[in-house]
Amino acid sequence: MTDLSLGIQRALAANPLREPVLRVVIESLQLPRGSHGLDAGCGIGLQSLMLADAVSAEGHITGLDIAPEVLSFATDNARRAGYAERITFCEGDVKDMPFEADSFDWAWSADCIGYPAGELTPLLTELARVVRPGGCVILVGWSSQQLLPGYPLLEARLNATCSGYIPFLRGKDPALNFLSALRRFREAGLRDVKARTFVGDVQAPLSGGERAALASLFEMLWGQPQAEVSAEDWQAYQRLCVPGSADFILEDDGYYAFFTYSLFRGRVPPR
Ligand SMILES: C[S@@+](CC[C@H](N)C(=O)[O-])C[C@H]1O[C@@H](n2cnc3c(N)ncnc32)[C@H](O)[C@@H]1O
Domain boundaries of the chain, sorted by first residue: 3-267
> pLDDT tens, 113-157?
777 667 899 999 999 999 999 999 999 999 999 999 999 999 999
Nearest ligand 1 atom, CA 43: 27
Nearest to 115 by CA among 139, 91, 92, 136: 139
> pLDDT tens, 90-120?
999 999 999 999 999 999 999 987 776 678 9
Q: Residues 12, 18, 24, 27: is their CA dihedral positive or negative?
A: negative
Element housing 88 (H / E): strand 87-91
Q: What is the reported pLDDT for 171?
A: 85
Give phi and psi for 66, each to the nearest 5.
-85, -15
> Number of C-alpha atoms within 13 angstroms, CB side, residue 197?
11
Residue pair 189/128 in contact (Cβ under 8 Å)? The answer is: yes
Q: What is the reported pLDDT for 2?
A: 53
Q: Which residues have CB under 6 Å of ligand 1?
A: 11, 41-43, 46-47, 65-67, 70, 93-95, 110-112
Q: What is the reported pLDDT for 99?
A: 98
To test the pocket of ligand 1, the residue of 2, 3, 15, 65 to mutate (highest count of ligand atoms within 8 Å of its CB) is 65
**Beta bridge partners of residue 202, listed in sequence order:** 257
CB count within 10 Å of CB 43 equals 21
Amino acid residing at 131: V
Q: With cut-offs at 50, 70 and 90, classify the pLDDT of residue 5.
A: confident
Cα–ligand 1 centroid distance for 65 (angstroms) = 6
The domain 3-267 is placed in CATH, from the list 3.40.50.2000, 3.30.870.10, 3.30.420.40, 3.40.50.150, at 3.40.50.150
Q: Treating both helix axes as pointing N-terminal to C-terminal, what angle do 46-55 and 68-80 enclose, rounded to 10 degrees?
A: 50
Q: With cut-offs at 50, 70 and 90, classify the pLDDT of residue 1.
A: very low
The residue nearest atom 20 of ligand 1, judged by CA position, is 93
Nearest ligand 1 atom, CA 46: 9
Gap between the Cα atoms of 34 and 25, Å rounded? 19
Residue pair 248/240 in contact (Cβ under 8 Å)? The answer is: yes
Predicted model pTM: 0.94
To test the pocket of ligand 1, the residue of 12, 66, 130 to mutate (highest count of ligand atoms within 8 Å of its CB) is 66
What Cα–Cα distance (Å) separates residue 51 from each residue in 29, 87, 151? 10, 9, 36
Cα–ligand 1 centroid distance for 188 (angstroms) = 21
Residue pair 198/263 in contact (Cβ under 8 Å)? The answer is: yes
Q: What is the reported pLDDT for 117?
A: 67
Max alpha carbon distance in the chain (Å)?
62
**Beta bridge partners of residue 23, listed in sequence order:** none
Nearest ligand 1 atom, CA 140: 8
Nearest ligand 1 atom, CA 115: 1
CB count within 10 Å of CB 258 equals 15
> pLDDT tens, 178-222?
999 999 999 999 999 999 999 999 999 999 999 999 999 999 999
CB-based contacts of 153, cutoff 8 Å, min separation 6: none
Gap between the Cα atoms of 92 and 158, Å rounded? 35
Residue pair 129/40 in contact (Cβ under 8 Å)? The answer is: no
Nearest ligand 1 atom, CA 22: 8
What is the gyration radius of the CA atoms in the chain, in angstroms?
19
Residue pair 43/65 in contact (Cβ under 8 Å)? The answer is: yes
Q: Treating both helix axes as pointing N-terminal to C-terminal, what angle do 3-29 and 208-222 enclose, rounded to 10 degrees?
A: 120
The residue nearest atom 12 of ligand 1, judged by CA position, is 41
Cα–ligand 1 centroid distance for 69 (angstroms) = 12
Cα–ligand 1 centroid distance for 99 (angstroms) = 17
Residue pair 46/11 in contact (Cβ under 8 Å)? The answer is: yes
Residue pair 266/185 in contact (Cβ under 8 Å)? The answer is: yes
